Structure 1
Amino acid sequence: MPYLVAYCGPAALPADLWFRWNTDPLLLAALAVFAYLVASGRSADARAGWAALALMAVVFVSPLCALSSALFSARVTHHIILIAAVAPLLARAFALPRLGYAPLVPVVAAHAVIVWLWHAPGPYTWGLATVPAYWLMQTTLLGSAWLMWRSVLAPTLQTGAALMALVATIGQMGLLGALIVFAPAPLYVVHFGSTAAWGLTPLADQQLAGLLMWVLAMIPYLAAGLWLAWSSLRVREPAL
């Protein structure tokens, strides 16, 4: 039998997946407050704010939450969306420049440590065992990613330094994904007993998760790097 994931509940089955929406009142209230902040013009970039809200609804409200109780690959997808899509959108929408920008190297390193920590089998299992632990996992992943993206997207940061930070992040996540792919045995006991309903063995689910982290996760960072490089070239073009 699979472990019970404290927040998202029992592992979703194919027959009930589309009925497994998360209607936690506290979560919905928090998202409503976020929507109010964006709608009231307190966001520096409203489109980024609405996109971040939509993606947070996907990872926390939609059936992806229940699916991530069943499959490690779904949980990794959840984390990728959180740190590689929601976080940069939040950094655009709520950069809070008055707070200043943290030094780039420490925030990139701290984010890497947090990502590796929460994907180690022991902390991962603990992080899904209770509601406080679950939200500690989510807030530290998202918070460290937001701090990193704030620094990467800071208007005063040189493009070369930002690109190096993105490359370093792609590298560490790719290495973690490769280690997960090539692990000789399943490591994430939370999902034991729940993968069969989805036609996967625990090891196949783990390998799929590693591939997602290795390949899929790099796309947002590559896109951001290309955007930064292109923006830098456009700024340097001489006026006609």
Structure 2
Amino acid sequence: MGPLALLALTLLPAAALAHVPEAAPAAVSPWQWNFAPWLVGSLVFALGLYLHGVRRLWARAGQGRGIHGSTVAAFVAGWLTLVLALVSPLDTLGGQLFSAHMVQHELLMVIAAPLVVIGRPLAAWTWAFEPGVRQALGRFTQSGPVGAVWSTLTDPVVAWGLHALALWLWHVPSFFSAALTHEGLHVLQHASFLGTALFFWWAALGHDARQSIGTGQAVGLLFTTMLHTAALGALLSLAPTAWYEPYIATSNALGIDPVEDQQLGGLVMWVPAGLAYVVSALVLLGRLLVRQGAAKA
């Protein structure tokens, strides 16, 4: 449980604090960066802790041992994606255009989350602490109640269900609109999107040895998630009216039709985001075929 718990403590505050509109669209430049201290601090802490752990591990075992260089690259790429989604002007624009908001959320859920999970924060963050602290953290995270909660949240079916629930629930017009106008709800929205995505990809990519998941089940998780997210994207794209009232004024202020803005956002969820799940499933199937071919050789 240790790595993802630490990941939640470091990355979820960053996601939660990002993109809470506080001014009318005319008063906010769409090219404004988000340098909120807690946001930047959380991101820097997450990366620093990871790189410190990798440095200590490689100093002990040799460069590239324990955690491969490509694994580190995956984590860094995921971290940079978080910066793009939460710090860059995309965050500000997401408060004014639904389509930009969708790009922001998909960056969090289908790019940043899997890359961070592939980056194996378990080994890196464990090595960032002194031996005594590592042992204490290990005992705590493996204790009965904590271990039980972790096993439940990373169960493939539970992780799939929580992620699906977060996606569909927050896109209900009344909930999504409320999140745009109430800071606390928007904090919860971003945290639930990123948090459930981390648990989903942790389960789908089989990073918990205590959860036995085969390639077939993993592909099933990815395929069914692609189906229901594509259905939601299609509903948004084909809707004849704008669902989210706050975006009507902000998109009009930028000279963009609200319905067309919503349709574009739906297409983002429908096509490129859905493609990410398909590509991931194909990669898993490809690895399975390679292993089977090697076993027969």
TM-score, normalised to structure 2, is 0.72
Which one of the candidate residues 42, 65, 69 is aligned to 1:30? 42
Which one of the candidate residues 173, 180, 188 is aligned to 1:136? 188
- Which consecutive aligned stretches of 4+ in structure 1 deviate over 6 angstroms post-superposition? none
Q: Give, in whole Å, the separation in 1 of the partners of 2:21 and 2:78.
A: 20
Change in Cα spacing, 1:38 to 1:178, as seen in structure 2 (3 Å) is: same
CA-to-partner distance for each residue in 1:58-88, whole Å, 9 max, x for gaps?
Answer: 1110000111011101111111111101111
Equivalence for 1:89: 115
SS in 1 for 2:250: coil
% identical aligned pairs: 30
TM-score, normalised to structure 1, is 0.88
Equivalence for 1:235: 291
**Residue segments in structure 1 that go unaligned for 5+ positions in a row:** none
Q: Give, in whole Å, the separation in 1 of the partners of 2:244 and 2:84.
A: 23
Q: Give, in whole Å, the separation in 1 of the partners of 2:23 and 2:215.
A: 45
Which amino acid in 1 is paired with 2:278? L
In the TM superposition, residue 103 of structure 1 has moved relative to its aligned partner by: 2.0
**Are 1:188 and 2:244 an aligned pair?**
yes
Matching of residues 1-240 of structure 1 within 5 Å: 7-10=20-23, 16-18=29-31, 20-41=32-53, 45-94=71-120, 96=122, 102-154=154-206, 156-238=212-294, 240=297
Greater alpha carbon shift after TM alignment, 51-60 vs 35-44: 35-44
Q: Greater CA radius of gyration, 1 or 2?
A: 2
Greater alpha carbon shift after TM alignment, 166-175 vs 43-52: 43-52
8 Å CA contact 1:73–1:205 kept in 2: the answer is yes
Greater alpha carbon shift after TM alignment, 28-37 vs 154-163: 154-163
CA-to-partner distance for each residue in 1:189-227, whole Å, 9 max, x for gaps?
Answer: 121122134442111111111111111111211121111
Count residues in correspondence. Answer: 234
Which amino acid in 1 is paired with 2:268? L
Which amino acid in 1 is paired with 2:82? M
SS in 2 for 1:17: coil
Q: Give, in whole Å, the separation in 2 of the partners of 1:37 and 1:139.
A: 21
Change in Cα spacing, 1:6 to 1:212, as seen in structure 2 (3 Å) is: closer
CA RMSD of aligned residues (A): 2.4
Q: Give, in whole Å, the separation in 2 of the partners of 1:217 and 1:10.
A: 30
Q: Could you say which structure has the higher helix fraction?
A: 2
In the TM superposition, residue 184 of structure 1 has moved relative to its aligned partner by: 2.3
In the TM superposition, residue 8 of structure 1 has moved relative to its aligned partner by: 4.0
Which amino acid in 1 is paired with 2:232? L
8 Å CA contact 2:106–2:269 kept in 1: the answer is yes
In the TM superposition, residue 53 of structure 1 has moved relative to its aligned partner by: 1.2
Q: Give, in whole Å, the separation in 2 of the partners of 1:78 and 1:6.
A: 10
In the TM superposition, residue 134 of structure 1 has moved relative to its aligned partner by: 1.6
